[in-house]
């Protein structure tokens, strides 16, 4: 009987790269704000109707048209928010979303024309209580 030998190799999947710059809020680098957003102690704190914005030009990698993404972040206390492009023209999550204390994750697909709109990322608090977020990660799926 002839012996047969097979060669196997293990290929590890590449770890997705975070597209957000300074998602740990070490300081306010690469983020702009409206309202009374504060970035302190490694967290971003948004009050009602505040916007926390990272322009497409400040992201490590900007969005592509008609592409699937996942955004994750930690929240100190639950609340409600919207996630938009940097000009608040595109609502990535199709309406406000409830977030819980602890880790949160949302998948979405960008529209066919996001590149022409500039891309970028904005968080908007739509609850009366402050929204505290940290560890923002945005990856390509």
CATH number at residue 94: 2.60.120.260
Report yes or no on 124 lying in a domain: yes
Report yes or no on 70 lying in a domain: yes
Report yes or no on 79 lying in a domain: yes
Report yes or no on 131 lying in a domain: yes
Measured in whole angstroms, the distance separating CA 18 from the mean position of its chain's CA atoms is: 9
Confidence of residue 2 (pLDDT cuts 50, 70, 90): low
Confidence of residue 7 (pLDDT cuts 50, 70, 90): confident
pLDDT tens digits for range 19-54: 999 999 999 999 999 999 999 999 999 999 999 999
pLDDT (mean) for 79-95: 91
Report yes or no on 3 lying in a domain: no
Report yes or no on 98 lying in a domain: yes
Q: In this structure, what is the dihedral angle of CA atoms 82, 84, 86, 88, given to the nearest 10 degrees?
A: -90
pTM comes to 0.87
Residue range(s) defining the domain that contains residue 78? 32-140
Number of folded domains in the chain? 1
- Of 128, 110, 28, nearest in space to 71 by CA: 110
């Amino acid at each position: 009987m002839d012996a047969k030998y097979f060669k196997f190799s293990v290929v590890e999947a590449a770890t997705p790269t975070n597209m957000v710059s300074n998602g740990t809020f070490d300081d306010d680098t690469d983020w702009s704000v409206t309202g009374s957003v504060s970035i302190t102690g490694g967290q971003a704190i948004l009050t009602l109707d505040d916007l926390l914005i990272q322009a497409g030009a400040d992201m490590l990698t900007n969005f592509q048209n008609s592409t699937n993404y996942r955004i994750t972040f930690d929240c100190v206390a639950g609340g409600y928010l919207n996630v938009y492009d940097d000009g608040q023209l595109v609502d990535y999550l199709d309406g406000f979303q409830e977030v819980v204390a602890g880790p949160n994750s949302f998948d979405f697909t960008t529209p066919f024309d996001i590149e022409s709109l500039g891309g970028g990322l904005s968080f908007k608090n739509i609850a009366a209580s402050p929204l505290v977020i940290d560890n923002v990660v945005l990856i390509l799926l």
